[in-house]
Structure 1
Amino acid sequence: QNPGLLRGRVNAWFDLLKTLPGADPARCGAIGFCFGGQCVLELARSGADAKAVVSYHGLLSTAQRAAPGAIKAYVTAYTGARDPYAPQADVQALREELINAGALWQITEFGEVFHAFTDPEADQQPVPGLAYNPLADRLSWAGTLALLDSLVKAA
């Protein structure tokens, strides 16, 4: 309910992450699922010095769109075309936002896939619009590994 507070907390978390033993601040990124997916998109929108952010079935809308040139991270969003929490209008708005911000990005939309597609227990939840999809789960994770491998080799 407080977008500024959310963005501030996400950035504080990321700043702390970069100070942990073994962390290389120049190679840090963020991966988030559902609410965490929304959080990593907010991290990218804020201009944080992340190498990449990957959002899995996250909420795509925002109260504060990224300014042109602000996004430093490679932004990846995986979403389901039947996800009621990330409707087509939000997918299109994110696409336009990333283009206008001049970001490096990809949005992968899986047809006939619902929210929480990476959670094998999603079908057992009493929440509408959730469903596990093993293929979308595997493809999105494989894409994430390929992205991270590519960015590490480029560094």
Structure 2
Amino acid sequence: MSYEAVLQTVLDREPEPSGGTTGSDVDYEADGVRYRGYLARPATADGLVPGVLVVHDWLGVTDATRMRCDMLARLGYAAFAADAYTADVRPSQQDASKVAGALYGDQATWRARLAAGLDRLLAEPSVDPGRVAAIGYCFGGSSVLQLARTGADLRAVVSFHGGLTTGPEGEAARIRAKVLVLTGGADPVVPDSAVVALQDELRAAPAVDWQVVTYSGALHAFTVPTANAPDFGAAYDERADRRSWTAMKDFFAEALQH
């Protein structure tokens, strides 16, 4: 699909493979609730490919989320954007904090919806169930860390400028995935104290393989090309966006190898 110029520019950093890619919205259901995600994958592939679950920011599954799925497909992954909000909920900027906040306050529902999205990804015949990762942006970054805490069978999770919270004592030991946290050095939403608290929690779970990378000067939403609200602590940062995407690619090259 085609995107507005600011998104297309980011997408085109990854060259289109010779065999092309496909992308389409996907309706799915879990426990009687309807969801609408997005699936992108290589159009031609030799055998099974690694799968990546992509979790949206607080606006839901938008073109910004679809574009990241398309970028992953260009890298050879089957990327599925899970819908944490349900099919009929796509909040405005004004309502997004309320919709996301409802899930922050209802962890059981939040985690169940993420698990439903992961199940839908795993239902794809082309996905190698032994090589699956999850990434997320802002609210989605918090989400993939929540999913990891459930003990989900993931090889890797990557949080892009996600909110960082700690869990009940000992819960981090359930994490099976390698963890990469990419955060902005000037992000008022994720202060240094939150980063330190998460690191301390992960240190107490010595079996967990984790990394935290902080990008100097980067505000919240530093990978979102349309973010332009520096007075509210959120703005796109091309350098941090490029560096964090490269960090994810290097991380996956290790974590999702055969």
Which residue identity lines up with residue 2 of structure 1 in the other structure? D
Alignment of 1:112-127 (within 5 A): 112-123=217-228, 125=229
Residues 45 and 65 in structure 1, CA contact (< 8 A), matched pair in contact too:
no
* Cα RMSD (Å): 1.8
Tell me: CA distance 1:22–1:116, structure 2 relative to 1, closer, same or farther (3 Å). same
Match of 1:80 in 2: 184
Instruction: Identify, as 1 or 2, the structure richer in strand.
Output: 2
Tell me: CA distance 1:4–1:65, structure 2 relative to 1, closer, same or farther (3 Å). farther
Tell me: CA distance 1:3–1:64, structure 2 relative to 1, closer, same or farther (3 Å). farther
Which residue identity lines up with residue 59 of structure 1 in the other structure? G
Which residue identity lines up with residue 154 of structure 2 in the other structure? A
Alpha-carbon displacement from aligned partner over 1:1-55 (angstroms, at most 9, x marks no partner): 2122212221222122112121111101101111111110101111111010000
Aligned counterpart in structure 2 of residue 97 of structure 1, from 188, 197, 201 = 201
The whole-number CA distance in structure 2 between the counterparts of 1:32 and 1:66 is 23
Residues 219 and 230 in structure 2, CA contact (< 8 A), matched pair in contact too:
no
Match of 1:139 in 2: 243
Aligned counterpart in structure 2 of residue 56 of structure 1, from 160, 172, 175 = 160
Tell me: CA distance 1:98–1:8, structure 2 relative to 1, closer, same or farther (3 Å). same
Residues 45 and 66 in structure 1, CA contact (< 8 A), matched pair in contact too:
no
Bigger relative contact order, structure 1 or 2, given CA contacts below 8 A and separation 6+?
A: 1
Bigger radius of gyration among the two: 2
Alignment pair present for 1:107 and 2:219:
no
Alignment pair present for 1:12 and 2:125:
no
Aligned residue pairs: how many? Answer: 153
SS in 2 for 1:24: strand
User: Runs ≥4 in structure 1, deviation > 6 angstroms?
Assistant: none
Instruction: Identify, as 1 or 2, the structure richer in helix.
Output: 1
Tell me: CA distance 1:23–1:64, structure 2 relative to 1, closer, same or farther (3 Å). farther
Instruction: Tell me how far 1:126 sits from its aligned partner.
Output: 8.4
Percent identity of equivalent pairs: 41
Tell me: CA distance 1:22–1:64, structure 2 relative to 1, closer, same or farther (3 Å). farther
Alignment pair present for 1:41 and 2:150:
no
